Amino acid sequence: MNDFFNTNFFYCNGENSVKIGLNDFDSDKHYHLIMTDDEDDMYYAIVVEPGFWYNFNVNVYKWNFKLLEFDGDEISILVEDKIDIEKFNISLISDDEEEIKIWKYYLWLVQVKLGYKFDIIVNQEFLDNEFEEGDYVEISRECYNNYIKKTTTPLRNDYSSLTIITTIFSVLNNEEKDEILNHDWLTK
């Protein structure tokens, strides 16, 4: 990603999270990490130290990062970056076969539209080191429930298959999302 920190998405205990690892660099100064999603619905600002990892429970996959450095007199931005999604390993968990089908169609269309690469498994969890690269996430009602408990704009009465996946795996802007949601596969 950059010379200062790395990110990794993972699934644990019903929530998708992002892990941020700061590389070791000049520790005589103070550092803050500011993270925002593209919708400005979620915002984190924390004090960080080089050489440590930090975990955040999130369900949105477009994040903006700023790493600020304080030397006592001046504040400077060391790096401003966005997560560049290259590959995701996605586990779809549902007893409803129609829901799984809708989620797969949606993910296939996202891959075609944006050139992403997904490894998709159904009703299984990814085991440690099963896949060597990429990030690991789960699409499920449990993840959706955990997300809407934390978001500032909960969608508590909408459990449609498309709402679940577009909320949990929010990688599209509104125009891209509208184009995919109007595709024949999803409007039948």
Q: Which amino acid is at 28?
A: D
Q: Which CATH number fits domain 5-82: 3.30.70, 1.20.1250, 2.60.40, 1.10.760?
A: 2.60.40
| CA distances (Å), origin 175, targets 55, 82, 137, 145, 179 | 31, 20, 24, 26, 6
Q: Could you tell me what percent of the chain has a pLDDT over 90?
A: 13
Q: In 23-180, where do the E strands start and end? A: 30-37, 43-48, 53-57, 63-70, 75-82, 87-93, 117-122, 135-140
The predicted model gives 138-157 an average pLDDT of 81
pLDDT bin (cut points 50, 70, 90) of residue 129 is very low
Q: Could you tell me what percent of the chain has a pLDDT over 70?
A: 87
Q: Which residues, including other chains, have CB under 8 Å from residue 167's CB and lie 6 or more apart?
A: 59, 144, 147, 148, 155
**pLDDT number for residue 103:** 94
Q: Which residues, including other chains, have CB under 8 Å from residue 52's CB and lie 6 or more apart?
A: 21, 22
pLDDT bin (cut points 50, 70, 90) of residue 60 is low
pLDDT for 164 beyond 80:
yes
pLDDT in tens, 74-120: 889 988 888 766 678 899 999 999 999 999 999 999 998 888 888 89
Q: Which amino acid is at 55?
A: N
Residue ranges per domain, the chain? 5-82, 87-187
The predicted model gives 144-161 an average pLDDT of 79
How does DSSP classify residue 60?
B
Q: What share of the chain is helix, strand, coil (3-state, %, to 5)?
A: 25, 40, 35
**pLDDT number for residue 107:** 93
Which of residues 151 and 48 earns the better pLDDT score? 48
pTM metric for this prediction: 0.78
